[in-house]
Structure 1
Amino acid sequence: MQETARREGLPEDIAPWDWRYLAEKVRLQRYALDDAEVKPYFSLENMLAAMFDVAGRLFGLSFEERHDLPRYHADVRSWEVSRHGQLIGIFLSDNFARPGKKSGAWNSIYRAQGLHGGTSLPIVVNNTNFAKGEPTLLSFDDVRTLFHEFGHGLHCLLSNVRYQRLAGTRVPRDYVELPSQLMENWALVPEILDRHARHAETGAAIPPALVAKILAAQNFQQGYATVRYTISALLDLALHQEADGVDDPSAFEAELCQHYGLPAEAELAHSLPHFNHLFNGGYAAGYYVYLWAEVLEAEAFARFEESGDLFDAGLADALRRHIYSAGNARDPRQTFQAFCGREPSAQAMLKKRGLAS
């Protein structure tokens, strides 16, 4: 970045407000990854098929689309979900932006799984806001979002507990993002890409060189991103340990940044007055959970990598029983240890981010 600044006649002493401009220049020089090159290989229809393929290989699920079920909007699609021939729930997919629809992506439950007082089968919906097209083409970030929300959906669909209040995603925030972030890993599994990442016009499989570029670009700026996320999580926790409150937020921020040695070029991603997670959505003193979930999911996926088979049947069954089906009926820390056989460490996450030596 300093070399880029020098070439452009800018100060080499990079300020926070210069960072994104210079980083984008470096990204284009190093990776030249253009969405226009990537998107034709990731049609929405093919990526839905890829998700269902992964769920079938891992958990024995099958998805049968139903056109006769009532829907709240014409864009919504419905599938009956079965496991080994037995119906386990209904999966809805609401993928397109429209006036009045909330932005972003999320998973919702219309009915939770439960066994108390009779069997209750889950009704689950994944929401995204893609622009409708013929076909609808996705960036790889969009594909990750699709798989992420599907991970939440599977957490609800595979739930096998007695009480609905303990079903699916109704677990502590420390563990709710584990099944969703874990599912993102299978979006880049070579055999899934080879089967489903097909050019929308020619039907050709995505070239290995383009996959390599996508993988390389995933680690760009991970040091910067990790430091900025971590300092925000530490700020959140430190604030909630101040029993008498904070009189001078600016001084509090500055002292914390100095204490942890935050590089001046990085600066805080979230200054206290606009740190929305502190005030909305129940993440106060819990902003750390996204990175913690990445520690957990990287550790869990490493088990599959170590086995040499990313669809290892024994591991997949253990993953279903201990993670996706357990809900909050058992201590999630214990169920994670039952699957991994060890306490989580940061090493797998650092390796995934390209930060491990």
Structure 2
Amino acid sequence: MNKIAMSLAVLFSSAPLFAAQGGALLLPDAADIARQCQQTISHAKVKIAALEKLPLAKVNAANTLGEWNTINQDLDRFGGPAGLLSEVSPLAPVRAAADACNLKMSALISDVLQSEALYSRFKALKPKDAIDAEARADLLSNFEDRGVNLSKEKRTELAAIFNKIEKLQQDFSRNMRDNQARISFAAAELKGVSASFLESAKKDAAGQYVLGFDYPEIDAVMGYAENEATRERYYSGRMKIGGAANLQILKEVVELRKQIARLTGYPSYAAFAIRNKMAATPEAVNTFLADVQSRVADLEKSDIEELRQEKARFTGKADSVLKRWDVQFYEEQLKASRYQLDQKQVREQFPTEPTIAWMMNVTGTLYGVDFRPNAQLKTWHKDVRAYDVFDRGSKKYLSSFYLDLFPRDGKYKHAAAFPVRGVSTLSGQTPVSVLVTNFSREGFNQDELETLFHEFGHVMHGVLSKTRYTMQAGTSVKRDFVEAPSQMYEEWARRPEAEALFNETCPSCKPIDPKLIAKMDEARRFGLGLKYARQVLYSAYDMALAAADAGDPQAVWQAMEGKTPLGYVAGTEFPGTFGHIVGGYAAGYYGYMWSEVLALDMLSAYGSNVMDVKQGKRYRELILENGGQRPAMELVEEFIGRKPNADAFFQEITGQRGAAAKTAKQ
């Protein structure tokens, strides 16, 4: 999930399409985007200029933080199309116009956050309370990140670098989003793939199946195609969808980030980027990654050997060697044989619409809110549905969100929650979030089910927030904490207390089978060595590209992946597909695991009942409503009643957490 930073920058890139109260979003055409974008920027410049002229002696919270909040919300009126429509509009001209607006907004960011006049006014501010103090500190940090304290020449150079990186990030994303690469397969090559999937797949004139690289296609081929050559060809194709263009973009971005470190006086981009995160230093991150690696290294090798043996049984060749394109397929084979788990059964157990309704019932019960469909809200595609959120006790309207769940051409390729409008209790502005995924329409498999809850956890962080200022709303927290609420919420997808509400939600559905759920949980614990070793590799690679001596991204990847047990697959170009580290997770990908440490520790507050509504109320009020207006560690410690530790995380990554709980229960 691409979290909001606490500055104008994110408001521009992930702001709402329309600042009206309620959940209405303006969905402009390409011409309107170009016209209104310029109007919005011009209007903002007038207000910013007035704030720059405010006498220092008259600075107070209302006329600085309050005015800044107003400027943010004014920009909200049209920052959204540049953040959301560029990723989800089915119309290429709209996406292009939104991209162009984003670049103009980025240029404004560089200018505004280098204003010595603005910086001096926020520095002169005497906060009236802890919330204002946190907001002031965050703002000063954002100005300093952009080089406000540097010489004019260095500021100019730094602004040009940030603007160029913004354009390169946009190009990288577009190359992935608009990718039209397809691979054709004969029916015989797809033996084992679901018949229902093949019925809906496109065919060419020769009658061959033509497959792209959206997640339903990836899962269908990599998880079930029995032909190894099919999986190898598909895997290699998938690892090249960014192409040479994205490899070059990443290379340029790495070099530009070195220049940022040089201009700002930090030994590396990692040192520059991590200093304001929870980890604080690259050394702390690298120590954490080394600790995780030491705990999963033997487990990874064990997982690989078990999958290799599964391949030997399946192929009848005792000397079989496991390859990267084998992993998902033989994981499914092993889980089917060892745990009698078939993801087709999981999809049947969790049909699409009832499962979404169940998740909302679980969430509404836990947090004391109601979700009401609102068909009056205009959407950008017929698949999208909108909901309003009401407090169950007071019946008061709180916020709105949209669900855009299924793949289509030109759409964002992964899963993310877009916080398109931040809340502000100061002005009465209500929040809007958008959930964007690429799920199968045939029901949820185990991974998709957890992803659904994960991303909805982000949505709740956005729409249940009650912060004073929009810049601290919802997911506007430190990058290495932002994933914690969503990672924690994955637990609700697999706990019996939550699943008990499924039958209540859909009485006509097939009742939840406790045996299937138990098999899912057992199967989930297999392969954790492979999973977390891969996460360590991604994170270490990210840190390597943010180091002072960072080399060519493709060469660095080949060397690092080449040292892993499964090695590097010749000709593949994974770095050209790794959008996280081109965007907001640069020198921050480690945050997924860092956040999980806190997520699993916070989960302990629920004890054996994740549907404890008293704890749900505490969590909503303390963690979700506070967003970034209080320090994350302070909130976590207050919620769990002690300083956090990594015990649950290390039990999780070694497969002991669920097993230990099961043994204790027995």
> Normalising by structure 2, what TM-score?
0.47
Q: How does 1:27-176 map to 2 (within 5 A)?
A: 27-83=335-391, 84=393, 85-116=395-426, 118-132=427-441, 136-176=442-482
1:342 corresponding residue in structure 2:
642
Q: How does 1:172-251 map to 2 (within 5 A)?
A: 172-196=478-502, 203-241=509-547, 243-246=548-551
| SS state at 2:526 partner | coil
1:235/1:253 contact within 8 Å kept: no
- Farther-moved stretch of structure 1 (90-99 vs 320-329): 90-99
Deviations, residues 161-191 of structure 1 (Å, cap 9, x unaligned): 1110110112121111112111111112213
Residue 292 of structure 1 is aligned with which of 575, 589, 594?
594
CA distance in 1, matches of 2:330, 2:355: 33
Counterpart residue type for residue 435 of structure 2: N
Q: How does 1:254-293 map to 2 (within 5 A)?
A: 264-267=564-567, 273-274=575-576, 276=578, 279-293=581-595
- Alignment CA distance shift 1:69-1:347 (3 Å): same
How far off is 1:281 after superposition?
1.3
1:107/1:149 contact within 8 Å kept: yes
Residue 624 of structure 2 is aligned with which of 324, 340, 348?
324
Deviations, residues 189-244 of structure 1 (Å, cap 9, x unaligned): 21332331699996331211111111111111111211222233234334534x24
CA distance in 1, matches of 2:501, 2:613: 20
- Alignment CA distance shift 1:162-1:43 (3 Å): same
Deviations, residues 69-105 of structure 1 (Å, cap 9, x unaligned): 3333332222221112111111222223334332222
Deviations, residues 278-311 of structure 1 (Å, cap 9, x unaligned): 7511222111111122222111112212xx3322
- Alignment CA distance shift 1:88-1:99 (3 Å): same
- Alignment CA distance shift 1:343-1:101 (3 Å): same
1:150/1:180 contact within 8 Å kept: yes
Q: Show structure 2 runs of 5+ residues with no match.
A: 1-305, 661-666
> Normalising by structure 1, what TM-score?
0.83
2:324/2:566 contact within 8 Å kept: no
Deviations, residues 8-31 of structure 1 (Å, cap 9, x unaligned): 33437x565486265554333212
From the two aligned structures, give the one with the greater strand fraction: 1
- Alignment CA distance shift 1:188-1:248 (3 Å): closer
Counterpart residue type for residue 80 of structure 1: D
1:11 corresponding residue in structure 2:
319
| SS state at 1:156 partner | helix
CA distance in 2, matches of 1:95, 1:251: 35
1:312 aligns with 2:618: no
1:115/1:161 contact within 8 Å kept: yes
The share of aligned pairs that are identical, in percent, is 31
1:246/1:252 contact within 8 Å kept: no
- Alignment CA distance shift 1:288-1:268 (3 Å): farther
Counterpart residue type for residue 446 of structure 2: F
- Farther-moved stretch of structure 1 (273-282 vs 60-69): 273-282
CA distance in 2, matches of 1:283, 1:231: 15
2:597/2:646 contact within 8 Å kept: yes
Counterpart residue type for residue 113 of structure 1: V
2:354/2:505 contact within 8 Å kept: no
From the two aligned structures, give the one with the greater helix fraction: 2
CA distance in 2, matches of 1:82, 1:201: 25
- Alignment CA distance shift 1:245-1:205 (3 Å): closer
| SS state at 1:126 partner | strand
- Farther-moved stretch of structure 1 (275-284 vs 296-305): 275-284
1:302 corresponding residue in structure 2:
604
| SS state at 2:437 partner | strand
CA distance in 2, matches of 1:355, 1:138: 23
| SS state at 1:182 partner | helix
- Alignment CA distance shift 1:266-1:349 (3 Å): farther
- Farther-moved stretch of structure 1 (137-146 vs 188-197): 188-197
Deviations, residues 251-299 of structure 1 (Å, cap 9, x unaligned): 8975x799xxx7x524479988557257511222111111122222111
1:198/1:206 contact within 8 Å kept: no
Deviations, residues 320-342 of structure 1 (Å, cap 9, x unaligned): 12211111111112111221223
CA distance in 2, matches of 1:228, 1:238: 15
CA distance in 2, matches of 1:300, 1:156: 19
- Alignment CA distance shift 1:277-1:67 (3 Å): closer
2:581/2:587 contact within 8 Å kept: no
Query: Which of 1 and 2 has greater Rg?
Result: 2
- Alignment CA distance shift 1:6-1:82 (3 Å): closer
Q: How many residues align?
A: 344
| SS state at 1:293 partner | helix
1:88/1:121 contact within 8 Å kept: yes
Q: Show structure 1 runs of 5+ residues with no match.
A: none
CA distance in 2, matches of 1:324, 1:268: 41
